[in-house]
Structure 1
Amino acid sequence: MPAIDFQPHAHDLLWGMSAAQLDAGAPDWAREVLAAAQPVVVRRGPAPAGQVAVGVRGRGREQRYASCMPLAAISRRVAPEQLTEAGAGQDAWPALRALAWLAPQLDALALSWGVTGGAGYQLATGVAVLHANSDLDLLLRAPQPLERTVAAELLALLDRALCRVDLQVETPAGAIALREWAGPAPQVLLKTNHGPLLVGDPWQEVAA
Structure 2
Amino acid sequence: MDDELWNILMALENGTRREMLKTLANYDSYALELSKMIGVSQQAINKQLDILEKLGFISTSGSIPSTIGPPRKVYRSMGFSTITIDYSRNFMEIKKREISYPDHDTEGNTLSLIDRLKSVNDEIESLDRKRSEAVGRKDLIIEKLRERASEYDGFYRKVIYEYLEKLDFSEVAEETGLPEDMVERIIGKFISS
For Structure 1 versus Structure 2, the TM-score category normalised by the shorter chain is under 0.3
TM-score by length of 1: 0.21
TM-score by length of 2: 0.22
Structure number having the greater strand percentage: 1
- Please identify the structure whose Cα radius of gyration is greater: 2
Structure number having the greater helix percentage: 2
